[in-house]
Chains A and B, each alone.
Chain A
Amino acid sequence: MSLRIDLQIISDWIPDGARVLDLGCDDGTLLKHLQQRGITGYGLEIDNRKFADCIKAGVNVIQADLDQGLPQFSDQSFDFVILSQTLQAIKRPDFLLQEIARVGKQAIIGFPNFGHWQCRVQLAFGGHMPKSRTLPNAWFDTPNIHLCTVQDFEQLCADKQINVLSRSIVNHAHKDTLGTRLLPNLFGQIALYQLQKQPS
């Protein structure tokens, strides 16, 4: 089974046997894949259909609203907390990021980069809220209420004393190109970060 490339990158960052929490775990594809490597844990999902898919996939899934934080989990109880393509749909991303840093020893966060040149062009010259392959919705019915750029996100991490351990910024096909390497905030469409809270 070949995994979507962003999920493959996430998977590559996680060592065998780790304990993970996948926030917004979608249909359980990533967790199912990780299970084969002895990586255990839970997914959190609020969408009814995706939730049922998780049960079918045989992964542990908890129906929960990420906007409420992660009160059911104790400090540092997971090796990795994963949040893939969901940060932008959260009411208070800063609060959730803090919760992720509390619960996980490390975090992996992926989101669509709103600083991509196509977004900039559409807004600057078209005068419209941008739409793209990774952000296909119109402004009025989008679940993506808190879009940010690579720079914005790194600033938030710095403010929260969270270190970036590694970063992978790729285009919509999840490939890294010369552009995404040299000017990630301009050419990257999807950003993936491996993070760790600074010791206090």
Chain B
Amino acid sequence: MPDTIPADSVGLVSPTTLHVDSPITLESGRSLPSYDLIYETYGELNANASNAVLICHALSGDHHAAGFHSMEEQKPGWWDTAIGPGKAVDTNQLFVVCLNNLGGCKGSTGPTSINPETGKEYGPDFPIVTVLDWVHSQVVLADHLNIKQWAAVVGGSLGGMQAMQWAISYPDRLRHVLIIAAAPKLSAQNIAFNEVARTAIKSDPDFHDGYYTEHQTIPRQGLGLARMLGHITYLSDEAMGEKFGRELRNDAINYGYDVEFQIESYLRYQSSSFVERFDANTYLLMTKALDYFDPAKEFNDDLAATVANIKARSLVISFTSDWRFSPARSHEIVDALLSAGKEVTYAEIEAHQGHDAFLMSIPRYIDIVKTYMQRVAIECKTS
């Protein structure tokens, strides 16, 4: 809880819900007759609506990217390190929009919403949505906000994939794209990790084929296990070693199967808090959206041809210790952009924090985003 709101915070914020009454047809062929998108905005949209920045969230993120919902809130929004007055994404100059994606569980229509056709929660019957579907729904939000062209679309990890998809699918609707700690598609190993997470959830006896709400339960064990696995892949060996090492919770080992090492305690704490704030069906859906992301599929697996229509200037960033989406995966994106002759800048950040580095306050990383976004902000005044 903040005693006072820090000067570089966007302060107290509250979300807005857009109810869309027209249907959206999804990549799967299924459709939603109507849906809600919950979003937050920070800063002011300028007179010609040229200073809007869209922030796309990752797997377990949401629309609350910066500031505090109340003075009681323990932590600010998930990218508060980068968004605020005078920060890397400067809300004194830019109008920042962040929404909870379709299929999420934080206020946008998703598995925990009521299906208007049945009057019951969608649960596992909620259609699987893809990165492209998200971008289509984000276009609806942009139209609603009268934003014809984003100054920049920004995202890390799964958010970076949305940003990339924006540049590919709506080349005229953004001037810059920031693709951070992402990949042009998942590798077999990435999909394998996701499948283990899904198996953990689905094999929990409390899962009930996804209808756990009807049984008034939550697949805590399975979702917690999925989160533990995720956490391991988001950190690097070095970061984990530095943070926990072989430290014991009590002074001595006791030759039992209870929590003994600090890392065990940490993972259990992370998973138990996560299961109370995240929906298992949403988790399954998000991992599927990741698995399916492969924009080059439509272009005979030729990534350079896939990005050929991009008009935005790109900033691609990777982190040296990220093994979930390693620098080599970012190189694939950069090489395609180079080979298509696109405007691109690429930074590889020395960081030991693993994939999670993209959410952290790493000076050189934040400085690069800030320097880049300063130029974006300057351009907004002339465009």
Please give me the residue from chain A that is nearest to B338 by CB atom. A72
A51 touches B347 (CB 8 A): yes
What number of A-B contacts does a CB cutoff of 8 Å give?
A: 44
Is A58 part of the contact surface with B, judged by Cβ < 8 Å? Answer: yes
Q: A62-B345, A63-B347 are in contact. Are A56 and B334 (CB under 8 A)?
A: no
Is B278 part of the contact surface with A, judged by Cβ < 8 Å? Answer: no
B368 touches A62 (CB 8 A): no
Is A83 part of the contact surface with B, judged by Cβ < 8 Å? Answer: no
* Closest beta carbon of chain B to A4's beta carbon, Å: 23
Rounded to whole angstroms, the CA-CA distance of A150 and B374 in the bound complex is 43
Rounded to whole angstroms, the CA-CA distance of A37 and B347 in the bound complex is 26
Rounded to whole angstroms, the CA-CA distance of A74 and B304 in the bound complex is 12
* Closest beta carbon of chain A to B371's beta carbon, Å: 5
Q: A62-B338, A63-B347 are in contact. Are A72 and B368 (CB under 8 A)?
A: no
* Closest beta carbon of chain B to A155's beta carbon, Å: 33
Is B170 part of the contact surface with A, judged by Cβ < 8 Å? Answer: no
Q: A48-B364, A56-B371 are in contact. Are A61 and B334 (CB under 8 A)?
A: no
Is B339 part of the contact surface with A, judged by Cβ < 8 Å? Answer: yes
* Closest beta carbon of chain B to A21's beta carbon, Å: 10
Is B331 part of the contact surface with A, judged by Cβ < 8 Å? Answer: yes
Is A165 part of the contact surface with B, judged by Cβ < 8 Å? Answer: no
Residues from 56 to 74 in A contacting B, C-beta threshold 8 Å: 56, 58, 60-64, 72-74
Q: A52-B367, A52-B368, A56-B371 are in contact. Are A61 and B345 (CB under 8 A)?
A: yes
How many residues on chain B are close to A (CB under 8 Å)? Answer: 21
* Closest beta carbon of chain B to A37's beta carbon, Å: 17
A62 touches B371 (CB 8 A): no
Is B234 part of the contact surface with A, judged by Cβ < 8 Å? Answer: no
A60 touches B371 (CB 8 A): no
* Closest beta carbon of chain A to B188's beta carbon, Å: 24
Is A3 part of the contact surface with B, judged by Cβ < 8 Å? Answer: no
Give the contacting residue for A60; candidates B344, B364, B374; CB below 8 A.
B344
Chain B residues positioned under 8 Å from A61 (CB to CB)? 345-346
Chain A residues positioned under 8 Å from B331 (CB to CB)? 72
Chain B residues positioned under 8 Å from A72 (CB to CB)? 331, 334-335, 338-339
B364 touches A74 (CB 8 A): no
Chain B residues positioned under 8 Å from A62 (CB to CB)? 334, 338, 344-346
Is B291 part of the contact surface with A, judged by Cβ < 8 Å? Answer: no
Which B residues lie at the A interface, using CB under 8 A? 313, 315, 331, 334-335, 338-339, 341, 343-348, 364, 367-368, 371-372, 374-375
Query: Shortest 5 CB-CB distances between A and B: which pairs?
Result: A55-B371, A62-B346, A72-B335, A63-B348, A63-B347
Known: A55-B345, A60-B313. 12 other contacts (CB 8 A): A19-B341, A48-B364, A54-B345, A55-B368, A55-B371, A55-B375, A56-B374, A60-B345, A62-B334, A62-B338, A72-B339, A77-B339
